[in-house]
Amino acid sequence: MRTLAFGFPRLGEQRQYKRLLEGFWSGSLTEADFLQGIATLKRERLREYEGMDIVPCNELSLYDPMLDTAVMLGAIPRRFQPYEGLTTYFAMARGRHALELTKWFNTNYHYLVPELEEPRFELQQNFPLDDVLFYRHHGAETVPTLIGPYTFLRLSKRVRPADSSPTAGAPLTDSELADFGAAVVPVFAKLLSSLAAEGVTQILVHEPALALDVPEEHWQLVHAWYSELSAHRVALWVLCYYDSVCDFQRYAELPVSGLGLDFVSNSENWHLLQRYGFPTGKTLIAGIVNGRQVWRSDLRERLHFLEELHRFCGDIVLAPSCPLAHLPVTTALEQRLPSGLLERLAFARERIAELRLLKAAWLGDSAALQAVHATSQLLHLPFARNEHVRQRLAALTEADFHRHPSAAERRRLQSQLLQLPILPTTTIGSFPQTAEIRRIRTQYRRGELSAEQYETAIRNHIRHAIAVQEELGLDVLVHGEFERSDMVEYFAEQLEGIATTEHGWVLSYGSRVYRPPIIYGDVWRPRPMTVPYITYAQSLTPRPVKGMLTGPVTMLLWSYWRQDISAEELAYELALSIADEVRDLEAAGIRIIQIDEPAFREGAPLKRRDWAEYFRWATRAFRLCHAKARPETQIHTHMCYSEFDDILDFIAALDFDVLSIEGSRSRGAIVDNFAALPSGSLQVGVGVYDVHSPAIPQQSDIEGTIWRVLHIVPPEAVWINPDCGLKTRRWEEVIPALRNMVAAAHHMRQHLAIRTTATRNEHDGTP
Ligand code: GLN
Ligand code: ZN
């Protein structure tokens, strides 16, 4: 029985990785100092992996492992050539026209999408070998990790050289997959020989894409590729995680020496293993401790499970279910968690300790066995229940998930009450989070500002934002979200049953980090969370101000959550708190409420067959938030930066009144599919301003996007807004951009008015 941990967070206990990258980018660190700092972080990883029998390398990417793979294989889009080391590397990652960022599987990590122009590859940079030699120099023998050819190609996109741009391209077709595979596998083979020549005997190959829906034609290719690769003198261990493998038997047949199985995401791998057995002669890399959630493992139960596994396979390697990168570094720094919580948690470092303990216990070490029993006893004590919440949940009936009257009827009432012009303009919620705002927040946290001083400062920003919006002539205003550092953490801090951490940072992409809250008990809302600031904003203007809430699905998915009740129940608990907030906002005179669900798509399981079940409860959770809203309260929702085309039916089932959605990067192309939505009731705001770019959109471009939308959606159902919140932009960019947006809306209104008059005249027979 051996142990292997992999994917330890790159960030470092003190977020050194972030500081190094940002220091280098800003010019305050020289390249030499930067690389020195990275080398230190690399060496520290050896300490984190201490006691593991197999220690991986090539894990400390300088931005993203998919980018590394593209660079390693020479897949450099023409606009970045020639490749000149770090400068090109970071240009691809974050320069002008950088590669596109997209969600990595069903996680909240974003990877850079490689653009494949031609089926031509070369071993451009041998990162794995460099790392093997680096660690050898420091006295450690490591096992290089790679993203395998299937995952690399499946998650890349094909771009014709002519339209090489971050937004162009599409996933590879089956025949492209074959062609590009035929070109890339020899480069992987060359890489393996170079490693073998240096005495490397084993490699870990990440193939999480084998947990997606993998069609038969793909399996044939994958099988052929691995036959070719296994001809080298290096033992290949394939790892597949985030879900069960798509086809257990096909997977088991792969001609490699080790196969990883995730026994945590769900129980399917285990069921299939019992049915089909494990191929003889192969090593099983058993993912038995959770790499996605922060709860300590029930080690007694895991030990028992290992015994079961052992009946099917003699050579087992204990491992986490997936890379540890989805966890914060360590619980050791947390000092303000609610009592009883800390001892139930395991972040990345503590997960590794669990693997060590499991192995020791397996070998019969009595201290380890005692420790194993002690943990399980603790974990079985009831924790943070709230009977009132449980009762509310139990009392829910079908009626609690259905809003009345119909969307069409609500629309009539709302338009009477709101009296908005056609093509109303609005924004998504946040306004620039300036250095000044971050400063007051830090000062308040440190106790340098009293609550009263802090609130006054926030109110001043709100007053400014309202004045700016009125001056710009926007129709529906927002308060600006200055009090929120993060749309999930802000609510998590105010809800009971959810803890926030001090140091629990996780990388979202590049050097960007966030701190997922931890939902540990029944969730409830002791007091209103947004009412004072929103009503203050509303008191400053006669125009409607939107109340801004984060939806239950996003709250859940961007947190860690307890596993003793279902995600569905937990989403309903969150939804009940949000429903209470909706009620309080209405009572305070707020007429429009937006419930953001940017993570709605991300929660979709990797395999289509599981979609219906996820979307069933995800939609119900959202509907629970607004089912009791007054008919005249207009409910908005917002989603961004995902593929929506294939989930429009699920989106429509949310039964909102207005949806705002990303659109500017595809110049409104997303709406082509809206033709399928029930028209006459739902309204859509298509983003006409790409908030992730500092460029200021021109009025004519915005009008172009609106025209495109108007071809599909009737003008009465169209809203005009940016793609997403404006918190990452500067006021100097936001004001001219919104001015152009409002001007475009006004201009289009005139057009529409002329058109309507003209048609009316035609009908009248008047010239
Ligand atoms: N209301 C949020 C904001 O404007 C929405 C953010 C998001 O969609 N990610 O910041
Ligand atoms: Zn958004």
| Residue to mutate (ligand 1; options 426, 483, 487, 690; most atoms within 8 A of CB) | 487
% of the chain residues with pLDDT over 90 = 86
E-strand ranges in 469-555 read 496-499, 506-509, 512-514, 518-524, 546-550
Nearest CA to ligand 1 atom 4: 725
Ligand 1 touching residue 724 (CB < 6 A): yes
User: Among candidates 554, 480, 481, which has minimal Cα distance to 517?
Assistant: 554
Ligand 1 touching residue 75 (CB < 6 A): no
CA distance 512 to 25: 13
Chain centroid to CA 446: 30
Residues 6+ apart with CB under 8 A from 150: 207, 209, 210, 218, 221, 222, 225
CA distance 517 to 501: 7
CA distance 430 to 483: 10
pLDDT of residue 306: 97
Burial class (CB in 10 A: 0-12, 13-18, 19+), 57: buried
pLDDT of residue 694: 79
Q: Counting atoms of ligand 1 from 1, which one is nearest the CA of 484?
A: 10
| Residue to mutate (ligand 1; options 638, 640, 723; most atoms within 8 A of CB) | 638
Catalytic residue chosen out of the listed positions 692, 746, 747, 751: 692
| pLDDT (mean) for 700-715 | 90
Question: Chain-wide mean pLDDT for the chain?
Answer: 94
Give pTM, 2 decimals.
0.95
CATH of 392-494+528-549+580-762, one of 1.10.760.10, 3.20.20.210, 2.30.40.10, 3.40.50.300: 3.20.20.210
| Residue to mutate (ligand 1; options 103, 110, 426, 430; most atoms within 8 A of CB) | 430
CA distance 268 to 47: 34
Altogether, the residues listed in the chain come to a count of 767
Considering 29-33, 373-377, 687-691, the range whose residues carry the highest mean pLDDT is 29-33
Residues of the chain with CATH 3.20.20.210: 54-197+211-221, 392-494+528-549+580-762
Ligand 1 touching residue 624 (CB < 6 A): no
Q: Under DSSP, is residue 274 helix (H, G, I), strand (E, B) or coil? A: helix
Q: Counting atoms of ligand 1 from 1, which one is nearest the CA of 640?
A: 8
Nearest CA to ligand 1 atom 8: 598
Neighbours of ion ligand 2 (CB under 5 A): 598, 640, 724
Residue 507, beta-bridge partner list: 513
Nearest CA to ligand 1 atom 3: 725
User: What is the separation, in whole angstroms, between the first and last Cα of the chain?
Assistant: 89
Burial class (CB in 10 A: 0-12, 13-18, 19+), 161: exposed
Ligand 1 touching residue 469 (CB < 6 A): no
Structure tokens of 148? Answer: 């395998």
Nearest CA to ligand 1 atom 10: 725
Ligand 1 touching residue 596 (CB < 6 A): yes
| Residue to mutate (ligand 1; options 101, 724, 734; most atoms within 8 A of CB) | 724
Helices and strands in the chain, H and E counts: 25, 23
Nearest CA to ligand 1 atom 5: 725
CA distance 213 to 216: 10
pLDDT of residue 766: 46
Ligand 1 touching residue 725 (CB < 6 A): yes
CB atoms within 10 A of CB 755: 11
Distances (CA, A) of 718 to 15, 172, 656: 44, 34, 14
CA distance 96 to 103: 20
| pLDDT (mean) for 547-563 | 97
- pLDDT tens per residue across span 237-249: 999 999 999 999 9
Helix (H) or strand (E) holding 68: helix 65-72
- 412, HSE (Cβ side, Cα atoms, 13 Å): 4
Taken in order 461, 466, 469, 475, the sign of the CA dihedral is positive
Ligand 1 touching residue 727 (CB < 6 A): yes
* Strand-by-strand arrangement of the 202-206 sheet: 2-3, 316-320, 283-289, 258-262, 235-239, 202-206, 143-147, 56-57
User: Among candidates 33, 10, 712, 676, which has minimal Cα distance to 325?
Assistant: 10
| pLDDT (mean) for 653-669 | 79
pLDDT of residue 668: 59
DSSP code at position 32: H
DSSP code at position 210: G
Chain centroid to CA 725: 16
| pLDDT (mean) for 169-189 | 96
CATH of 54-197+211-221, one of 3.30.450.40, 3.40.718.10, 3.20.20.210, 3.40.50.150: 3.20.20.210
Structure tokens of 142? Answer: 């490591």
105 Cα: distance to centroid of ligand 2 (angstroms): 19
Active-site annotation holds for 692: yes
Ligand 1 touching residue 428 (CB < 6 A): yes
| pLDDT (mean) for 188-215 | 98
Ligand 1 touching residue 636 (CB < 6 A): no
Residues 6+ apart with CB under 8 A from 601: 639, 642, 643, 644, 647
- pLDDT tens per residue across span 753-763: 877 666 655 55
DSSP code at position 75: -
Q: Return the residue matching tokens 């450690």.
A: 140
Q: How confident is the model at residue 708 (pLDDT cuts 50, 70, 90)?
A: confident
pLDDT of residue 411: 94
- pLDDT tens per residue across span 584-632: 999 999 999 999 999 999 899 999 999 999 999 999 999 999 999 999 9
Q: Is pLDDT of 59 > 70?
A: yes
Dmax (CA) for the chain in angstroms is 97
723 Cα: distance to centroid of ligand 1 (angstroms): 9
639 Cα: distance to centroid of ligand 1 (angstroms): 8
Ligand 1 touching residue 691 (CB < 6 A): no
Q: Counting atoms of ligand 1 from 1, which one is nearest the CA of 429?
A: 4
Q: Is pLDDT of 147 > 80?
A: yes
628 Cα: distance to centroid of ligand 2 (angstroms): 25
598 Cα: distance to centroid of ligand 1 (angstroms): 8
Amino acid letter for position 133:
L
User: Among candidates 13, 6, 18, 5, which has minimal Cα distance to 507?
Assistant: 18
Ligand 1 touching residue 598 (CB < 6 A): yes
Which region among 169-173, 399-403, 546-550, 554-558 has the lowest average model confidence (pLDDT)?
169-173
CA distance 543 to 540: 9
* Cα-based angle 422, 427, 430 (whole degrees, multiple of 5): 165
